Amino acid sequence: MGHPLLGHIILHSWLIVRVAKGSVWLGQMIFSEMFGQQNIGAEVSLKSRNLRIAAISLLLILVGVSHWLVPATPQLHTLHVVLRKMFLVPVVLGAIWFEITGALMVAIFATAIYVPHIFVDWSGNFPENINQVGEVVTIWITAVLSGVLVRADKAALREVAETHEGSLMALASALDAREHETELHSLRVMAFSIRLGRQLKLSKYEIRLIRQASLLHDIGKIGTPDAILLKSGKLNEEEWRIMRQHPETGHRILSSIPFLRAAAETVYAHHERFDGTGYPRTLCGNEIPLPARVFAVVDVFDALTSDRPYHKKISCEAARQEIQKESGMHFDPQVIHAFSKIPCFEWKRINRRISENSQKLEAVLQSARVK
């Protein structure tokens, strides 16, 4: 008598948990565009959270109503069984989006919808009664196991993401160190780009692209000879030709790394100009990826407000005026409008924070070298 119930629970729980594990990536990829969310470990906005709750609720209602409306006749028995299994889909989505808490909450509502139907549809067929009760138990076991497994998967993904982030920052620092006058440049433009991207209300996916691309925008200079890269005087025509190859080289390097392929497009376009006079592809207007248009502004802003061999730094206010003159030519007017809304004290605060963090890191490294 216990065997049908136990076998039912074990078989279906194992199958659904396997589906839940595979659905972590699939579910995030499918719904990331809809909800503006790409990074599994990232914070979810209130709007995204509400949309996800609405999607799960709608699915529960549709499954529940369909299950109640389909008669439990021999002719429709297969359809009735399929609809019972469909209660597991919102449970899995609850686990994917809200981990074990979400899965358990969905299980509560699924049970509230399904259990009354068991009593209404109760028959003298004992194996069928066992199956119906088994469905409820399966919902709860699936909710617990899928929630725990998804949480473990997300924790692993966060660890990988943090490792990637650390590697990117180390590489960016190494690139900046090679050009002595651009120390901390990549870290500053990363922070500036994120701030400007938020002012433009870009999606989390676009912010992530800007973050990666701004850190590694000059990675193509790995292939540029020191004699050209570190030259204090003016570059001749041949040297400029070589220097201008770095966006294409950077694109080629990053395109070979799966999690940086999207950012590679921004790196490829970071020297394009809004009026089409940039390089290497002379893109213009909206042909230039939006993250690249955002980056172009803060890249020049950082160059103007930092000491370089070919010029002394100028004030934030003066730099803003110079940049606004290039609206519609070098820069996207929409981006310039957003840039002008951010007060100078915010840019200075970001710059100061980057410098302070760099000094702390250098102190730690110096201490380690002494030991």
Among the candidates 125, 156, 187, a domain finishes at 156
Q: Would 36 be classed as within a structural domain?
A: yes
- Res 335: pLDDT: 96
As given in the structure block, the two tokens for residue 337 are 């409008």
CA dihedral 281, 212, 347, 307 (to 10 degrees): -60
* Any domain includes 164: no
In a domain, 105, yes or no: yes
- Do residue 246 and residue 300 come from a single domain? yes
Structure-block tokens of residue 270: 């970071």
- In this predicted structure, what is the pLDDT of residue 3? 53
Cα angle vertex 361, ends 357, 364, to 5°? 140
Please give the single-letter amino acid code of residue 158. R
Residue 285 pLDDT: 94
Q: What is the pLDDT of residue 267?
A: 93
Domain boundary among 88, 121, 156: 156
Do both 186 and 230 map to the same domain? Answer: yes
Q: What pLDDT score was predicted for residue 2?
A: 47
Tokens of 277: 């006079």
Query: Are 93 and 212 within one domain?
Result: no
- The answer to whether position 330 is within a domain reads yes
Q: Report if residue 162 sits inside a domain.
A: no
Report the pLDDT value the prediction gives residue 78, as an integer from 0 to 100.
Answer: 74
Identify whether residues 114 and 17 lie together within a single domain: yes
Identify whether residues 151 and 231 lie together within a single domain: no
The domain tally of the chain equals 2
| Residues in a beta bridge with 327 | 331
Peptide bond into 4 cis (omega under 30): no
Identify the pLDDT of residue 238: 92
pLDDT at 39: 44
Name the domain boundary from 124, 156, 188. 156
Stretches in the chain below the pLDDT threshold 70: 1-47, 72-74, 77, 80, 118, 120-131, 153, 156-183, 308-310, 358-371
Residue 1: predicted pLDDT: 44
Residue 171 lies in a domain: no
pLDDT of residue 49: 79
Q: What is the CATH number of the domain that holds 226?
A: 1.10.3210.10
Residues 238 and 137 in one domain: no
The reported pLDDT for the residue numbered 248 is 93
Express each pLDDT in 270-310 by its tens digit.
999 999 999 999 999 999 999 999 999 999 999 899 876 66
314 and 192 in a common domain:
yes
Q: Are residues 243 and 136 in the same domain?
A: no
Same domain (yes/no): 228, 340: yes
Same-domain pairing of 213 and 80: no
The reported pTM is: 0.60
Q: Give the span between the Cα atoms of 261 and 320, in whole angstroms.
A: 32
Residue 161 belongs to a domain: no
User: What pLDDT is recorded for position 298?
Assistant: 95
142 and 20 in a common domain: yes
CB within 8 Å of 140: residues ≥ 6 apart: 107, 111
Rg (CA), the chain: 28
In a domain, 173, yes or no: no
pLDDT of residue 310: 65
Amino acid at 221: K
User: Do 235 and 129 lie in a common domain?
Assistant: no
Minimal CA–CA distance to 94: which of 12, 24, 42, 22? 24
| Rounded Cα distance, 303 and 287, in Å | 25
Domain membership of residue 336 as a residue range:
179-370
